[in-house]
Amino acid sequence: MTEIANNKKVTSAGQRPTWAEINLDALAHNFGIVRNQVGAGVKVMGVVKANAYGHGSVECARRLAREGADWFGVATPEEGIELRAAGIEQPILCLSGVWSGQELACIQHRLVPLIYRLETLESLDRAAGAARVVADVHLKIDTGMGRLGVRFDELDDFVSALSRFKNIRIDGLMTHFAAADEHSCESLTNKQVNRFESAVALFRERGFTPEHLHLSNSAGVFDQPSARGTMVRPGGVLYGLWRDVLDPTHQHHEPFKPVMSLRSQISLLKWVPPGETLGYGCTFEASRRTLVATLPIGYHDGYMRGLSNRGRVIVRGSYASVIGRVSMDLTLIDVTNVAGVAVGDVVTLMGPDGELAVAAEDVAKIAGTISYELTCGISSRVPRVYQSEKSST
């Protein structure tokens, strides 16, 4: 385990001093907020797709399982198989569906595919029949998002065709809100809820009894309390990412806690005279004698090029500016005003640090994106260091 002491990071021999700290206690705290929000009568699916939004799907799923997550949501069967290999036993829904040739793997690893095409049902039905099992699936209804799903106004023929699949059980129905947190889109959200309710009624009229009905993502959990169905699918809020996905005026009883912190260390210090330019393209020119620190982190690590000359970090309890263009492996910062700065000092590029913080949402805004893309983009070259007062295994 990597430790920080006296503003220095103690690393294993040969390890580059750039890392992401993952606070599993903060993850548990955020899950508790969701659980309290929806109440005991609604199941919670912890969405851990995309490597748990960059935080590490296995460790996050293990902790969420201990906290009482009922289901897990992944994007692909490959992600689900990774969780099964790590010992996760809860039901797992593959939110992006299943591709041709993956049907048997879903059956073998007890993964629930999301279905929106009859052709997929046909191949899954054959695979389930050959394995002598009944395969559970969740059907997705496109009520207005426009990505995946059977269109709400084309359901009649689709439902009529389901009777020929003898090895399939419709275990759940779902849809996905396009803008549950946007009050300007409230009309669309209301239409989505109504369309989904009509779809559920149609399935029941045709003799289907899906157990799980789910609409709400993170935004829906907090902004659409009447549309929780029997299960909700929080994602970003579990990782403390909320200010760019939830209504900022919404008051929570407890604040979400950021789960990821991104840190590096100063590898070089040098003084440059006024008028000297730094980095690719000469985009920064020193206006004074400037103390420049080099950090071993760049855009291949996920520290976005859009932060060039715009980002800020924390060093020794002070903010410092990113100067010059962020390059593939290195970033420069201005530490002229940081008292006592030294090679080896820890630098926080994202997350809390003493009395200060660099919020993921703020970093993402500077880079012209959202916090989800920022954390998902922290590459595998950056080791995740898991922190918890409790063991996560």
Active-site residue (options: 9, 43, 49, 140)? 49
Active site residue 43: no
Active site residue 365: no
Check the CA dihedral 202-208-211-214 and report its sign: negative
Radius of gyration of the chain (CA): 24
- Residue by residue, what is the 3-state secondary structure of the chain? CCEEECCEEECCCCCCCEEEEEEHHHHHHHHHHHHHHHCCCCEEEEECHHHHHCCCHHHHHHHHHHHCCCEEEECCHHHHHHHHHCCCCCCEEECCCCCCCCHHHHHHCCEEEEECCHHHHHHHHHHHHHHCCCEEEEEEEECCCCCCCEEHHHHHHHHHHHHHCCCEEEEEEECCCCCCCCHHHHHHHHHHHHHHHHHHHHHHHCCCCCCEEECCCHHHHHHCCCCCCCEECCCHHHHCCCCCCCCCCCCCCCCCCCCEEEEEECCEEEEECCCCEECHHHCEECCCCEEEEEECCCHHHCCCHHHCCCCEEEECCEEEEEECCCCCCCEEEECCCCCCCCCCEEEEEEEEECCEEECHHHHHHHHCCCHHHHHHCCCCCCCEEEECCCCCC
Smallest CA-to-CA distance from 180 within 236, 254, 112, 114 is with: 236
In whole angstroms, give the CA distance from residue 173 to residue 90. Answer: 18
Active-site residue (options: 116, 140, 191, 280)? 280
- Residues 61 and 48: beta-carbon distance below 8 Å: yes
57-67 vs 77-85: helix crossing angle, rounded to 10? 70
Positions marked catalytic: 49, 280
